[in-house]
Structure 1
Amino acid sequence: MSEADTAGLGYEQARDQLVEVVKELEAGGLSLEQSLELWEKGERLAKVCERHLEGARERIEAALASVETDDAE
């Protein structure tokens, strides 16, 4: 899965795929090359999750700022 493939994933999809990657890595029995490919995929998925969480954080902060502005008026 390339970076372009992971970029379009929603948070839940990326998180679920990341969980599967971690399970596969923890299970072991993979070649070094397979492990590296999975690790790279996991890193891409983690970045997607981080971007979604940052976006959610920004939305919450904006909503809170809006409420505070409304309360001040």
Structure 2
Amino acid sequence: MTETPTPGTGNGDNTDVAAMSYEQAREELVAVVNQLEAGNTSLEQSLALWERGEALAARCEAWLEGARQRLDAARAGAEDGATD
């Protein structure tokens, strides 16, 4: 089995997450969850992975919320256009 390197720097620095696409964040989040579920990490590594996972999940949520807002705006625009 190939060991996935521990994401992040281990010091809670997850600033790179803000630049990720939804797909990148989701893919890495899946890898983090798999690594945590495997249980082959030290407590320190597990904590760093958990923090990374939280940051990745928040990034995914931000992307999904943005998409939801765009859909709502498009629907509202379509409804406004239909009533004109």
TM-score by length of 2: 0.84
Q: Which runs of 5+ in 2 are unaligned?
A: 1-7
- Asked if 1:7 is matched to 2:18, the reply is yes
Runs of 4+ in 1 over 4 A off after TM superposition: none
Question: Paired residues, what number?
Answer: 73
Aligned alpha-carbon RMSD (Å): 0.7
- Asked if 1:39 is matched to 2:39, the reply is no
- Rounded to whole Å, the distance in 2 between the matches of 1:35 and 1:53 is 26
Greater per-residue helix proportion: 1
Cα deviation 1:9-49 (Å, max 9, x = unaligned) = 00000000000000000011211111100000000000100
Identity of aligned residues (%): 55
TM-score by length of 1: 0.96
